[in-house]
Amino acid sequence: MKLSIITINYNNAIGLKKTMESIASQSWRDFEHIVIDGNSSDHSSDIVKSFNYPQLSYLSEADSGIYNAMNKGIDKASGKYLLFLNSGDTLENPEVLDKVNPYFAEDYSVLSGHIIFDEPNGKRLREHPEKMTFSYLVGNAVSHPSTFIKRDLFQKYGKYNERFKIVSDWAFFLKVLGLNDESYLKLPETITVFDVDGVSTQKDNLEKIYKERNEVLKAYFPRVYNNEDDRYIFNHFISTNNRFRYLKVIEKFPLFRKITTVILGIIAFILKPFKSSK
């Protein structure tokens, strides 16, 4: 099996129907579709039962959150690659998987395509960078619903950390691509239309996102946060929120990236004699 599509759902029958219709319409069929439902009280189960394609499996039981449900999907999956397409998200057109299929043979760890944010004021296309950079991974997010992940990465690095409620997918990509240099390919295809009503896009959750991201950085880069000088810079020079926004600006404007690199290079050159004298 080349691909496992995992859909998590909770009381979103309308969104679930949209998602399943887009999957059922695909011209390429070498996939399994796993629906993990959090014991919904609406008619989500009726929606699932109304589809009868043979690749479909369904589990409905209480869970402890988004990533607990996603981890259940990982446990049930058998495909070489996993795509997390949650209820409300849709594949952009019926030929999406057929176009992506040839790339599965190239054996990249992570394959990321374009994603469309269907927002109230219009549609917005988001593309991933040609090359993955540290500032992109820290300041931005790899779009989960348009990214194909090799299943064995979850065996190698562990599944999603369920302690975090919003940013565990961001932390996972930071770990596998940033800290462990797993292979990455930008796909030249639009994969997914994203449901902007999800948890990670709600403005009320922005502070929680920044707080959880900061906890991840402290865990992954303890030397920075335990160093008195670096900690002062992180805590006083730029706030947590501004730090992530600053990295987004660096990625968006190549000239600004070059200027930042030059400035940091000059600072490193000036400080070098002081470090060597210690």
> CA-CA distances (angstroms) from residue 55 to 6, 22, 34, 260, 271?
12, 14, 8, 50, 60
- Residues of the chain above pLDDT 90, percent: 61
65-118 residue pLDDT tens: 999 999 999 999 999 999 999 999 999 999 999 999 999 999 999 999 999 998
Q: What is the pLDDT of residue 219?
A: 85
Lowest mean pLDDT among 56-65, 170-179, 225-234: 225-234
Average pLDDT (134-159) is: 92
User: Looking at residue 237, what is its pLDDT?
Assistant: 39
Among 35, 125, 50, residue whose Cα is nearest residue 86: 35
pLDDT of residue 152: 97
Please state the pTM of the whole predicted model.
Answer: 0.81
Spans of all domains in the chain = 3-198, 221-276
**Which region among 19-28, 139-148, 151-160 has the lowest average model confidence (pLDDT)?**
139-148
User: What secondary structure letter does DSSP report for 130?
Assistant: S
| Measured distance CA(78)–CA(175) in Å, rounded | 23
φ, ψ (nearest 5 deg) of residue 67: -75, -25
> Is-contact 52 23, C-beta < 8 A?
no
Is the pLDDT confidence value at 154 over 50? yes
pLDDT category of residue 236 using cuts at 50, 70 and 90: very low
Rounded to 10 degrees, what is the CA torsion of 192, 198, 201, 205? -160
pLDDT tens across 44-73, in order?
999 999 998 889 999 999 999 999 999 999
Confidence at 1, pLDDT banded by 50, 70, 90: confident
Residues in the chain: 278
How large is the average pLDDT for residues 149-169? 95
What are the CA-CA distances from residue 268 to residues 151, 229, 273, 274, 276 (Å)? 40, 14, 9, 10, 12
Contact between 167 and 213 under an 8 Å Cβ cutoff? The reply is yes
Q: How confident is the model at residue 190 (pLDDT cuts 50, 70, 90)?
A: very high
CATH 3.90.550.10 fits 3-198, yes or no: yes
Instruction: Identify the band that residue 260 occupies on the pLDDT scale cut at 50, 70 and 90.
Output: low
| pLDDT of 232 above 50 | no
What is the model's pLDDT at position 255? 60
